[in-house]
A and B are shown apart, each in its own frame.
Chain A
């Protein structure tokens, strides 16, 4: 569109008399567009500024120490980084196969009349606020997991260290499951857009060779869309890493690294949310800001990667956000 507009003859663009109005409007919109750069710099600056004290006091040690002890003013981010990475990994393990299979169903295999309503339903699921899922998580999901799924897992897979230890309900695994519920609609709807953008000729060529529907999907569609699907997954990861409320409500605020999936945990985001208003010491607040800085760094990198993958796959037509 931009190219089309700016390709018009200069005489046409200059017409109209109100040069001042034209220039002022253009600069105004430019300024507003540039605000996104200002915002990202602002976020980075404020978080770095807030964590200055902790950066000076603990340095790199902050990132490798697993000792989080506000009373003695010892702060190490490892429990939170660990909780974030493991809960997001669990979420991806659950969500990725389900989401991509659903996207395949929606674009390739489902009967036509079902595609539109099902898509709309999944997009509505993406709109459910985090705190509502958290509420449901506390009162419905966690008790069910505690009384049914977790004891069963312990009985059948209890020889693994992952499934040992006391069961509280609020745990790493609950956090992973609620995260999976939250990122499934995102990965599904972006994957769906990606699969829809695969050219029809790809499919027709495979059909012409006598492939079945599933073979067409596997050979012509999925392998073609690999890069875009990867982008969708990474975007889901970015969302999972920073998710706060629902995880806060089902993860139990554990501050220790434990290999048991039944142990309470904290993530970077829930660590901040749970402690920020009770932190009074300057060092404590500063350490929380540094957790925020770590979280920001990780999510910006992950999201940038996802956007690059999606943009280079899809071109300008597909909207990759949300």
Chain B
């Protein structure tokens, strides 16, 4: 660290600062480009009909994705019914009970499950539900998304329960309240906002899943009111339209993608604002 290379070191410092800044810009660019093109191509096709009408057949212009939008919410509803209780209660176990060794393994397995490719989940539910029921169904689509959110919800629930100060639990025990009631009525209640946040994030994540729905929910051009029929979902419809050769369908795909992205980003951004409050209060 002698004087002669001092300038060189300062130069290198400035250089690396510039290089890392350039990388950060490079990382942000795709999102900006994707959003720009979605708005440019999709915005003009979003109108009242898009949200209220069924898809039109080839050649006819107009039509919408009403059934796909409703389908996505039906699938998410089923996923929540299946996945949320299992995930939340599992998270309660990880935070409040168990031995550290068992809990290490549960966490580890849940994190590995999070990395299982969505397409393999689809195959599993195909074998488990679609084959015995002899057909693609909304039920199978809901089950696959429900299974996928279990590890996600479990881990986030555990995390937010750990943020509840231990004094709350001790105070409840000191009053002679049973442990399970302490957990349900005091610990979980305190962390309710965080739990809901985790659930919403998990649902937002599977809302965009396409691969596991390809051979479970399958897609449908019409309204369905039976869970045993195939059902459409926004990502499925976007995919089907995107790979079709028709310009009109391409425009619909862009519009659908814009709606889906706004939905997902809205939940994500909203949740971040909510959680910021949470950390402030508990810090």
Residues of A within 8 A of B (CB): 1-5, 8, 12-13, 15-18, 21-22, 24-26, 28-30, 32-37, 39-40, 42-43, 46-47, 49-50, 97-99, 101-102, 104-106, 109-110, 118, 120-125, 127-136, 138-140, 181, 184-185, 188, 209-210, 212-215, 217, 235, 238-239, 241-245, 249, 269, 272-273, 276-277, 288-289, 292, 295-296, 299-300, 302-304, 306-307, 311, 319-322
Contact = CB atoms under 8 A, between A and B. Distances in A.
Interface stretch (B47-55, B57-65, B189-197, B259-267): B259-267
Interface in B1-44: 1, 9-10, 12-13, 16-17, 19-21, 23-24, 26-28, 30-31, 33-34, 37-38, 41
Contacts of B170: 8
B119 A242 contact: yes
A42 B148 CA distance: 13
A127 B263 CA distance: 11
B149 to A, nearest CB: 12
Given A29-B97, A273-B214, A46 B128 contact: yes
B181 A18 contact: yes
B150 interface: yes
Nearest to A19: B178
B235 interface: yes
Interface of B: 1, 9-10, 12-13, 16-17, 19-21, 23-24, 26-28, 30-31, 33-34, 37-38, 41, 85-87, 89-90, 92-100, 103, 105-106, 108-121, 123-124, 126-128, 147, 150-152, 154-155, 159, 162, 166, 169-170, 173-174, 176-181, 183-184, 204-205, 207-211, 214-215, 218, 235, 238-239, 242-243, 250, 253-254, 257, 260-261, 264-265, 268-269, 272
Given A105-B20, A213-B13, A131 B238 contact: yes
Contact of A129 (B96, B100, B253, B261): B261
Contact of B268 (A102, A124, A132): A124
A295 B120 contact: yes
B214 A243 contact: no
A254 to B, nearest CB: 16
| Chain B interface mostly | helix
27 contacts: A2-B98, A3-B100, A12-B173, A15-B176, A22-B179, A25-B179, A40-B112, A46-B128, A47-B123, A99-B27, A102-B26, A118-B24, A124-B269, A128-B34, A128-B264, A129-B207, A132-B38, A132-B261, A133-B30, A139-B254, A215-B9, A235-B115, A273-B214, A292-B123, A299-B117, A300-B115, A303-B111
B117 A2 contact: no
Given A33-B98, A42-B124, A214 B12 contact: yes
A289 B41 contact: no
Given A105-B21, A238-B115, 13 more contacts: A32-B85, A40-B116, A47-B120, A49-B127, A99-B27, A104-B20, A120-B269, A124-B269, A242-B119, A245-B239, A249-B243, A296-B116, A311-B108
A122 B27 contact: yes
| Chain A interface mostly | helix
B33 A214 contact: no
Of the candidates B24, B85, B178, B257, the one having the most CB atoms from chain A within 10 angstroms of its own CB is B24
Contact of B20 (A102, A125, A129, A181): A102
Contacts of A288: 123
A95 to B, nearest CB: 9
A57 B243 CA distance: 34
B119 A185 contact: no
Nearest to B114: A321
B265 A34 contact: no
Contact of B239 (A99, A127, A131): A131
Nearest to B23: A101
